[in-house]
Amino acid sequence: MKSNQKYIQEYVRVMKTVDISDEMSKRIIDICSNTVVDRRTVKTPAIAAISCAAVAAVAAVGIPKIVRSSRRK
Amino acid sequence: MQKGKKNKNTDDSAYIEFVVEKYSKMLFRICFVLLCNEADAEDAVQETFLKYFTKAPAFSSEEHRKAWLIRVATNICKNALRFRMRHATVDINEVKNIGVNDKDVGIMEAIMELPPKYKIVMDLYYIEGYRIKEISDITGATPAAIRKRLQYARNSLKMEFERGDSFEV
């Protein structure tokens, strides 16, 4: 172990110099921020309205035929 | 991890900035040693954070969050390596673009020559300061395997350094 100590020290010294660029950090922050915002907007009224319409349609018409026929089998 | 629970702060851009600033360097280093390529490493880090913020898992502690990020990043890198094995070649010359001093390029190349499973163990043990048991939990390997990998990694590193004449006392 001790004989490897100098190599380990060099390894640690060099590895600690590895760093992500500032531009990339900013880009990741931007991308993540936009992604989270997008997810939020997707959940807003548009989807809720479509879901409600689908439920209402099923309630009015009944279970679609294709589902009924498969259940009978 | 408490799946299903959403972190309330996730929507906050200040929170995103805080997490990215705190862990990006560590994740980039791990991805870089595994992928040996700056651009791929950046992509892997970005994907890791995207996964984190879209899934938004809740953690019991900061260490728990860190371990999750490391695990996800290493899995993404493994997938990338698997893809690369089938589709492309590795260009190790990329290390010169990473901002490493000219005199350290040889050492970095020697480090890159180590197999991925040794590199991740070396990084977690010597750079991040994890204990063998903790590394075992993160990587899924047994503590005995981690100890052995560390031993092999140290010996391999010594051989690589000596073979490449990159190390001068």
Q: Are A10 and B161 inside 8 Å of each other by CB? A: yes
Banded pLDDT at A31 (limits 50, 70, 90):
confident
- Does A71 contact chain B (CB < 8 Å)? no
A33 belongs to a structural domain: yes
CATH number of B1-90: 1.10.1740.10
Banded pLDDT at B133 (limits 50, 70, 90):
very high
Q: Which residue of B has its CA nearest to A9?
A: B126
A27 belongs to a structural domain: yes
Give the Å distances, CA to CA, from B59 to B5, B18, B130. 9, 16, 18
**Contact by Cβ (8 Å): B39, B84:** no
ipTM of the complex: 0.72
A55 belongs to a structural domain: yes
- Does A32 contact chain B (CB < 8 Å)? yes
The pLDDT assigned to B6 comes to 47
Q: Could you tell me the residue ranges of all domains in chain B?
A: 1-90, 102-169
> What's the total number of domains in chain A?
1
Report the distance separating Cα B87 and Cα B82, nearest Å: 9
Q: Strand, coil or helix: what is B78?
A: helix
Q: Are A10 and B11 inside 8 Å of each other by CB? A: no
Candidates B9, B15, B17, B94: best to mutate against A (most CBs of A within 10 A) is B17
Query: Is the pTM here over 0.80, yes or no?
Result: no
Options 3.30.1130.10, 3.40.50.880, 1.10.10.10, 3.20.20.70; CATH for B102-169 is 1.10.10.10
Banded pLDDT at B37 (limits 50, 70, 90):
confident
Query: Which residues form the domain of A40?
Result: 21-72
Candidates B19, B20, B112, B160: best to mutate against A (most CBs of A within 10 A) is B20
Please tell me which residue, B56 or B90, carries the higher pLDDT value: B56
Give tens-digit pLDDT for A44-70. Answer: 556 667 767 777 776 777 766 555 555
Say yes or no to pLDDT of B103 above 80: no
